[in-house]
Amino acid sequence: MANELALKYGCNPNQKPSRIFMKNGKELPIKVLNGKPGYINFLDAFNSWQLVKELKEATGLPSAASFKHVSPAGAAVGYPLSDTLKKIYFVDDLELSPLACAYARARGADRMSSYGDFAALSDICDAPTAKMLYREVSDGVIAPGYTEEALEILKQKRKGGYNIIEIDPDYVPEEAEYKDVFGITFEQGRNNAKISAEMLSNLVTENKTLSEAEQRDLVIALITLKYTQSNSVCYVKDGQAIGIGAGQQSRIHCTRLAGNKADVWYLRQHPKVLELPFKAGIRRADRDNTIDVYISEDYMDVLADGAWENFFTEKPEPLTREEKRAWLDTMTGVALGSDAFFPFGDNIERAHKSGVTVIAQPGGSIRDDHVIDTCNKYGIAMAFNGLRLFHH
């Protein structure tokens, strides 16, 4: 290891010179085992590694994240997948270890956003996870280690140029963080807040019941938000994020954006979607895009201009607005976390439409009473965790 690593350029090709280095002269806690990771790759790698490390510490389960532009497209722990999830994540032909299940869930939460991701793994990368990564469009991976078989598989990806980073799992950063903006240096203490179920005890709604599974999902949501560009909200179900809204100026836009993603995730499991008559040989990315169009309101236009013939063996029946609403009405048991308080009850109204039954947020709005009343209207349990999680 060395204490600095030169990079090709910064965020953009005109931003040179570029490097990562340790100000204290210590060695970097990473090894580049393959490829030439860039500036944004390392930003994704270091943020995503922190996320999965904390998920593993909080849940005891193998964890994974799929990052794009320094925010997670998905994050999850390694619970087994149902046959339906295996099918919509395109992994029904693969052997699935617990770590591979975690990455399949993280990648599958929002497959369009995960396209070209940087993956993070909490545990040593095994062959099943490497085989999954090998066939997806991905920029790189960070993990605390790799089995010999996994490393050989990944080294063959992208004509031998796939970015593979090994990080020291025992590395502890300095307490102070620095960032230069416009030639001016900012300093702050690291966000070392430990997120656990203990911070969910302040239930302010009439419904004061949180099951262990609901507490787990809320913890996953809050840890995910800790490394998501703010403003942000996160919908979680069964151990995986299903919708993340990042970097919006208005919280209701975060809630809508993430809710729409959660809706698409659930609509992908609709029988009509599962039975779409795709032609043989259609690439997974093209399937993802086509499914998204099929679910969207634009599909009738696609049917009309005959573009369906490029992907399907026969013209599929459209999924009507009424059918979509009826299917979405069966979604329930969704947990929602917010990185800051909800200022108005409209966020709760939108969340309810996507099956949210439990919420964790800091509280502290002058309209907390309105937000609580809206939760009570739908029987939603809401905890004020008292911890803001802005990340910039």
341/230 same-domain check: yes
pLDDT for 172-226, tens place per residue? 999 999 999 999 999 999 999 999 999 999 999 999 999 999 999 999 999 999 9
Portion of the chain with pLDDT greater than 70, in percent: 98
End-of-domain residue from the set 172, 205, 230: 172
| Token digits of residue 125 | 């990368």
pLDDT of 64 > 70? The answer is yes
User: Same domain for 283 and 355?
Assistant: no
Residue 182 lies in a domain: no
Do 198 and 64 fall within a single domain?
no
> Helix or strand or coil: residue 203?
strand
Same domain, residue pair 362 and 213: yes
pLDDT of the residue at 304:
62
311 and 374 inside one domain? no
Q: Examine residue 257 and state whether it is found in any structural domain, yes or no.
A: yes
Last residue of a domain, one of 138, 172, 206: 172
Compute the mean pLDDT over every residue in the chain, rounded to the nearest whole number.
94
Q: Tell me the pTM.
A: 0.95
Residue 56's CATH number: 3.40.140.20
Residues 28 and 147 placed together within one structural domain of the fold: yes
- As a three-state string, the secondary structure of 32-93 is EEECCCCHHHHHHHHHHHHHHHHHHHHHCCCEEEEEECCEEEEEEECCCCCHHHHHHCCCCC
207 and 258 inside one domain: yes
- Per the CB < 8 A criterion, the answer to whether 278 and 340 are in contact is no
Number of domains the chain is built from: 3
Give the whole-angstrom CA distance, residue 300 versus residue 134: 35
Whether 177 is in a domain gets the answer: no
Which residue range(s) make up the domain with 287? Answer: 274-318
Burial 247-278 (b: 16+ CB within 10 A, else e): bbeebbebbbbbbebbbbbbbbebebbeebee
- Of 172, 207, 230, the last residue of a domain is 172
List the catalytic residues.
68-69, 231, 392
- pLDDT, residue 301, reads 72
Task: State whether 335 and 297 are in the same domain.
Answer: no
Same domain, 155 and 229: no
pLDDT at 293: 87
The answer to whether residues 158 and 59 belong to one domain is yes
